[in-house]
Structure 1
Amino acid sequence: MSKEAFIQHINEGYSSKGDSILLGAAILNGEAVGETQVKVPLKTLNRHGLIAGATGTGKTKTIQVLSEQLSSFGIPVLMMDIKGDFSGIAKPGEEKSFITERHSKINIPYTTSSFPVELMTLSAQNGVRLRATVAEFGPVLFSRILDLNETQAGVVAVIFKYCEDNNMPLLDLKDIKKVLNYITEEGKDEISESYGKISTATTGTILRKIIELEQQGGDFFFGEKSFDIEDLMRIDENGKGYVNIIRLTDIQDKPKLFSTFMLSLLAEIYQKMPEKGDAEQPELVLFIDEAHLIFNEASKVLLDQIETIVKLIRSKGIGVYFITQNPTDVPKGVLAQLGLKIQHALRAFTANDRQAIKQTADNYPTSEYYQTDEILTSLGIGEAFVTALNEKGIPTPLAATMLRAPMSRMDVLTEDEISEINSDSKLVKKYKEATDSESAFEILTEKVEKIQEEQAEIEEEKAEEKEEKKSSTRQNPIIKFLTSAAFISGIFRVLMMLFKRKR
Structure 2
Amino acid sequence: MSDSPGLLLGGTDQGPFLMTARMANRHGLIAGATGTGKTITLQNLAESFSRIGVPVFLADVKGDLSGLAAEGKSHPRIDARIKKLAVENFQFRATPTVFWDLMGKKGHNLRTTVSDMGPLLFTSLLDLNDTQGGILYACFKIADDNGMLLLDFKDLRAMLTWMADNARELKAEYGNISSSSIGAIQRKLLVLEEQGAEDFFNEPAVELDDLIKKDFSGNGLVNILDVSKLIHQSPKLYACFLIWLLAELFENLPEVGDADKPEFVLFFDEAHLIFDSAPDALIDKVEQVVRLIRSKGVGVFFISQSPMDIPEDILGQLGMKVQHALRAFTPKDKKI
The Cα shift of 1:247 comes to 1.3
2-structure distance, mates of 1:18, 1:272:
25
- Pick from 35, 38, 41 the counterpart of residue 62 of structure 1: 41
Report matched runs for 1:10-25 at 5 Å. 18-25=4-11
The CA deviation string for residues 151-192 of structure 1, in whole angstroms up to 9 with x for no partner, is 22111111111111111211111111111211112x111221
- Pick from 100, 114, 124 the counterpart of residue 144 of structure 1: 124
The CA deviation string for residues 14-53 of structure 1, in whole angstroms up to 9 with x for no partner, is x97631102121xxxxxx32x3231111111111111122
Q: Which residue identity lines up with residue 256 of structure 1 in the other structure? A: K
Residue 121 (str. 1) matches residue 107 (str. 2): no
Residue 355 (str. 1) matches residue 301 (str. 2): no
- Pick from 59, 62, 72 the counterpart of residue 93 of structure 1: 72
The Cα shift of 1:201 comes to 1.8
2-structure distance, mates of 1:202, 1:344:
50
The Cα shift of 1:91 comes to 1.1
Match in the other structure for 2:209? 230
Q: Which residue identity lines up with residue 7 of structure 2 in the other structure? A: I
1-structure distance, mates of 2:281, 2:130:
11
Match in the other structure for 1:280? 260
| TM-score (ref. length: structure 2) | 0.94
Report matched runs for 1:278-357 at 5 Å. 278-349=258-329, 351=330, 354-356=331-333
Give secondary structure in 2 for the equivalent of 1:37. Answer: strand
Residue 264 (str. 1) matches residue 241 (str. 2): no
Q: Which residue identity lines up with residue 335 of structure 2 in the other structure? A: Q
2-structure distance, mates of 1:47, 1:327:
16
Match in the other structure for 2:110? 130
2-structure distance, mates of 1:299, 1:228:
25
Q: Larger Cα Rg: Structure 1 or Structure 2? A: 1
Give secondary structure in 2 for the equivalent of 1:18. Answer: coil
Q: Which residue identity lines up with residue 18 of structure 1 in the other structure? A: S
Report matched runs for 1:244-263 at 5 Å. 244-253=223-232, 254-263=234-243
The CA deviation string for residues 289-344 of structure 1, in whole angstroms up to 9 with x for no partner, is 12223222223343222211221211111111111222111111111111121122
Q: Which residue identity lines up with residue 190 of structure 2 in the other structure? A: I
Q: Which residue identity lines up with residue 153 of structure 1 in the other structure? A: G
- Pick from 221, 225, 236 the counterpart of residue 242 of structure 1: 221
Contact kept, 8 Å, 1:16 with 1:41, in 2: the verdict is no
The Cα shift of 1:108 comes to 2.9
CA shift in 2, pair 1:359/1:259, >3 Å: farther
2-structure distance, mates of 1:148, 1:298:
16
Report matched runs for 1:76-475 at 5 Å. 76-109=55-88, 110-185=90-165, 187-253=166-232, 254-349=234-329, 351=330, 354-356=331-333, 358-360=334-336
Higher RCO (Cα < 8 Å, 6 or more apart)? 2
Match in the other structure for 2:25? 46
Contact kept, 8 Å, 1:255 with 1:293, in 2: the verdict is no
2-structure distance, mates of 1:310, 1:334:
7
1-structure distance, mates of 2:250, 2:219:
24
Q: Which residue identity lines up with residue 34 of structure 2 in the other structure? A: T
2-structure distance, mates of 1:315, 1:151:
36
Gaps of at least 5 residues in structure 1 are: 1-14, 26-31, 361-503
Contact kept, 8 Å, 1:78 with 1:243, in 2: the verdict is yes
2-structure distance, mates of 1:23, 1:240:
19
1-structure distance, mates of 2:3, 2:111:
41
Contact kept, 8 Å, 2:56 with 2:222, in 1: the verdict is yes
1-structure distance, mates of 2:288, 2:223:
25
Gaps of at least 5 residues in structure 2 are: none
The Cα shift of 1:237 comes to 1.9
Contact kept, 8 Å, 2:2 with 2:260, in 1: the verdict is no
Give secondary structure in 2 for the equivalent of 1:252. Answer: helix
Q: Which residue identity lines up with residue 355 of structure 1 in the other structure? A: K
Give secondary structure in 2 for the equivalent of 1:119. Answer: strand
1-structure distance, mates of 2:106, 2:18:
36
Q: Which residue identity lines up with residue 164 of structure 1 in the other structure? A: D
1-structure distance, mates of 2:215, 2:327:
41
- Root-mean-square deviation (Å): 1.7
